[in-house]
Amino acid sequence: MAVLILVRHGQSLYNLENRFTGNLDIALTDLGREQAKQAGDKLVDYVFDIAYTSMLIRAQESLQIILSEMKVTIPVVKDKALNERMYGSLQGLNKEETAKKYGLTQVDIWRRSYDVCPPDGESLLDTHNRVIPYYKSEIEPKLKIQQNILIVAHGNSLRALMMYLENISPLDIVKVNIATGIPKVYTFDRDLHLSSVINL
**Identity at 163, one-letter amino acid code:** M
The dihedral through the CA atoms of 86, 90, 93, 99 has a sign that is: negative
Q: Strands across the sheet with 184-188, in order?
A: 76-78, 50-53, 149-153, 2-8, 184-188, 194-199
For residue 95, what is the enclosing H or E element? Answer: helix 95-102
Would you say 91 and 23 are in contact if contact means Cβ atoms under 8 Å apart?
Answer: yes
Q: Is 9 a catalytic residue?
A: yes
Catalytic residue among 61, 84, 128, 154: 84
DSSP, collapsed to helix, strand or coil, labels residue 17 as: coil
Q: Is 193 a catalytic residue?
A: no
Residues with a catalytic annotation lie at: 9, 84
